């Protein structure tokens, strides 16, 4: 009797463990479903956030441009800054005015031209023509050489004749 009670208790443990195993599997499956649902809702929120950001972009750029213009002193400030910059590029300076950036004041010597082209172009063109001529000459010399006579190498092994039936 004691053995039977002991066996029943052991079987109950196994059955309980089996039920717990199934419950754990169901819990894992439900957890995966919940994480997938949460990821989907996050993705939907991100899509709506992107749409809202795209819709707000034009307004944001206008506000940013207005803030920069106000920071620069408005339209009048921008206009005066542009005039200050432009006056450095005007050519109607007085004759006694001189501005130097470290140069000698003499204009740089004009670049030499060969056949109306820069020297680099002439040198590169000459090199290309020279290579093309050498290639053509090598092809011409190759065509003038007689074709090599192909000979067969004799083999010292005798050829065995197959037997023929009479």
Q: Is residue 51 part of a domain?
A: no
Domain assignment present for 123: yes
- The answer to the question of residue 132 being in a domain is yes
The answer to whether position 102 is within a domain reads: no
Q: Which pLDDT score is estimated for 37?
A: 92
Does residue 129 sit within a domain? yes
Number of domains in the chain: 1
Q: Is the pLDDT of residue 149 over 60?
A: no
Instruction: Classify residue 142 as left (phi > 0), alpha (psi -120 to 50) or beta.
Output: alpha
Q: Summarize the confidence of residues 40-55 as an average pLDDT.
A: 83
Supply the DSSP symbol for 115.
Answer: T
Is residue 144 within 8 A of residue 137, CB to CB? The reply is no
**Residue 162: pLDDT band with limits 50, 70, 90:** confident
Q: What is the mean pLDDT of residues 47-56?
A: 81
Query: Is residue 127 assigned to a domain?
Result: yes
CA distance 63 to 54: 15
117 lies in a domain?
A: yes
Question: What's the CA gap between 57 and 12, in Å, rounded?
Answer: 66
Is 70 exceeded by the pLDDT of residue 157?
no
Domain encompassing residue 117: 113-142
Quick one: pLDDT at residue 93?
A: 55
Q: Confidence band (pLDDT; 50, 70, 90) for 35?
A: very high
* Residue-level pLDDT at 13: 73
Q: Residues 64-123: pLDDT tens digits?
A: 888 887 777 777 777 777 777 777 766 665 566 666 676 666 776 777 887 778 888 888
Q: Are 114 and 122 in contact (CB under 8 A)?
A: yes
Is residue 134 domain-resident? yes
């Amino acid at each position: 009797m004691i053995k039977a009670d002991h066996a029943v208790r052991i079987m109950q443990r196994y059955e309980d463990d089996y039920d717990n195993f199934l419950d754990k599997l169901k819990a894992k499956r439900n957890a995966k479903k919940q994480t997938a649902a949460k990821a989907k809702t996050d993705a939907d929120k991100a899509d709506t956030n992107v749409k809202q950001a795209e819709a707000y972009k034009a307004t944001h750029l206008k506000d940013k441009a207005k803030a920069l213009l106000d920071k620069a002193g408005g339209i009048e400030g921008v206009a005066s800054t542009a005039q200050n910059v432009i006056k450095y590029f005007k050519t109607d300076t007085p004759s006694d005015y001189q501005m130097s950036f470290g140069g000698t004041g003499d204009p740089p010597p004009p670049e030499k031209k060969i056949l109306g082209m820069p020297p680099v172009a002439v040198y590169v063109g000459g090199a290309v023509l020279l290579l093309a001529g050498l290639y053509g000459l090598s092809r011409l010399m190759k065509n003038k050489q007689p074709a090599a006579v192909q000979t067969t190498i004799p083999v010292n092994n005798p050829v065995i004749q197959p037997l023929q039936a009479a």
